[in-house]
């Protein structure tokens, strides 16, 4: 059996978040080397602060300063820090209840090894040298001796508050398309399109997923389909996509390749966008070095009869 493909896949996007008055005060406070919590009607001080009481759902706004010193309530050792984590050397993830707070804050704790960490140990904030109004303004926690550090008297009113943050989201995958799609991708490299037929209902899936979702059985019989096909339905795209060098308007269509039991999608070219129609016969156009057809163009054949594709819409 040929080797199943795999490749790195990164999903990455910036997430812009506006801060309400409570989160704004919290992050601006960190920039000024002050930790602020919020007091509930019941008198509990929540750090990190939240906008609504988790018990009563009442809106919260009574900001209160807590000390940059605290106690570890629980922890776990991180043997292998990953990209973007607070420290590059192994460290502990710790929940720290700061002096004056009733809840604990999750952050990194810099310690030489897991033997140097224990629940109940005293720690203090190590501030980042450059602070911008973000949770990373706390570089990490570090062990310390002694009691609470005194508050500075900050009220939560700042001249130049942080009102928004951009949090970059990034997910690193090793993606494997599996046995069926590996065969599909390998066939594409030879400019052939290969699906798999369900042994029960005889439907040919393109691209194949390895199983028939209707019958719940594995598909294994490989079937070459196309290369020609029929437009079953389509839409006209009028909005230019970022990083896509295609003039609008253009047509994106569902195309049932000859022999396939369902339609795949592709762009239609070589014909004015307002002349594309259901039943139009098309063929793939490959560009040099591409791993899939760039688009589909009319073959010049007469349009397909509706009854030949009515089940493939």
> Under the rule (CB under 5 A), what is the footprint of Zn ion?
198, 200-201, 212, 214-215
> Which of 60, 198 has the CB closer to Zn ion?
198
CB of 221 to Zn ion, least distance (A): 12
Nearest residue to 121 (alpha-carbon basis) of 85, 158, 94, 87: 94
Q: Which is nearer to Zn ion, 21 or 259 (CB)?
A: 259
In angstroms, give the least distance from the CB of 201 to Zn ion.
3
How far, in Å, CA of 47 to CA of 26, rounded?
9
- Please say whether the beta carbons of 255 and 230 come within 8 A: yes
Residue 71 or 219 having the CB closest to Zn ion: 219
Extract the tokens encoding 284: 């793939």
Shortest Å distance, C-beta 313 to Zn ion: 18
Q: In the complex, what is the shortest distance from the CB of residue 218 to Zn ion, in angstroms, rounded to a whole number?
A: 10
CB 222 within 8 A of CB 183: yes
Q: Which residues pair with 237 in a beta bridge?
A: 250
Rounded to whole angstroms, how far apart are CA atoms 5 and 178? 7
- Compute the least distance from the CB of residue 212 to Zn ion, in Å: 3
Q: CA separation (Å) from 215 to 180, 197, 200, 256, 266? A: 17, 12, 7, 21, 27
């Amino acid at each position: 059996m040929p080797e199943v493909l795999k490749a790195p896949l990164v999903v990455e996007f910036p997430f812009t978040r506006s801060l309400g008055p409570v989160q704004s005060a919290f992050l601006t406070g960190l920039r000024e080397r002050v930790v602020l919590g919020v007091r509930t009607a019941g008198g509990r001080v929540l750090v990190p602060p939240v906008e609504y009481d988790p018990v009563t759902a009442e809106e919260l706004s009574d900001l209160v300063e807590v000390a940059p010193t605290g106690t570890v309530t629980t922890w776990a050792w991180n043997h292998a820090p990953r990209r973007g984590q607070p420290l590059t050397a192994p460290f502990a993830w710790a929940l720290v209840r700061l002096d004056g707070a009733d809840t604990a804050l999750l952050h990194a704790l810099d310690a030489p090894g897991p033997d140097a960490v224990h629940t109940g140990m005293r720690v203090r904030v190590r501030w980042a040298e450059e602070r911008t109004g973000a949770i990373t303004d706390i570089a990490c926690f570090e062990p310390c001796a002694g009691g609470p550090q005194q508050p500075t008297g900050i009220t939560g009113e700042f001249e130049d508050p942080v009102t928004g943050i951009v949090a970059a989201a990034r997910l690193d995958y090793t993606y494997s398309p599996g046995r069926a799609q590996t065969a599909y991708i390998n066939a594409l490299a030879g400019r052939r399109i290969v699906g798999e037929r369900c042994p029960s209902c005889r439907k040919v899936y393109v691209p194949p997923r390895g199983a028939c979702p209707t019958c719940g059985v594995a598909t294994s019989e490989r079937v070459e389909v196309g290369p020609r096909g029929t437009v079953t339905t389509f839409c006209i795209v009028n909005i230019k996509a970022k990083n896509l060098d295609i003039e609008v308007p253009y047509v994106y269509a569902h195309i049932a390749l000859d022999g396939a039991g369902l339609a795949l999608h592709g762009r239609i070219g070589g014909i004015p966008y307002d002349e594309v129609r259901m039943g139009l016969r098309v063929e793939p156009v490959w560009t040099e070095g591409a791993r899939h057809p760039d688009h589909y163009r009319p073959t010049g054949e007469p349009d397909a009869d509706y009854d030949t594709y009515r089940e493939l819409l």
